[in-house]
Amino acid sequence: MNKKKDPISVKNVIEKILLNKKLNHGLLELRIKDAWKNVMGKNVNNYTINIKLNKEVILVKLSSAPLKNELVYRTDTIIKLLNDELGQEKIKKIEFN
């Protein structure tokens, strides 16, 4: 006997999957890395070693100390540009290492 189930939309299935916090966190981190590349450009991205997300703080590791010093002064602008690229306010702070 076949039991028919109510159809479930793909959107609902994806939303249930994204409720998994680890998966959602990982996807957000990937989106932030893509946003960083788009906003900061190729030159800055070449000096970017790693980007990590810790709650609402992104940790950016750079290979250039002078670049790090320059970006520290532009942190507020960078946060705004990244949040605009993401389409939501997910980043509150940036820490450069």
pLDDT for position 42: 94
Instruction: Quickly list H helices, 8-59.
Output: 10-18, 21-46
Given a cut of 90, whether residue 15 has pLDDT beyond it is: no
Show me where the domains of the chain are located. Answer: 27-96
Using a 10 angstrom Cβ sphere, with 0-12 exposed, 13-18 middle and 19 or more buried, the burial of residue 64 is middle
Read off the pLDDT band of 27 (50, 70, 90): confident
Q: Which DSSP state fits 48?
A: E
Tens of pLDDT, residue by residue over 35-58, are 999 999 999 999 999 999 998 999
- Structure-token pair, residue 59: 């940790």
pTM recorded for the entire structure: 0.76
Q: What is the fold, at CATH topology level, of the domain defined by 27-96?
A: GMP Synthetase; Chain A, domain 3 (3.30.300)
Q: Give the C-alpha separation, 85 to 36, whole Å.
A: 9
Give mean pLDDT, residues 80-84.
96
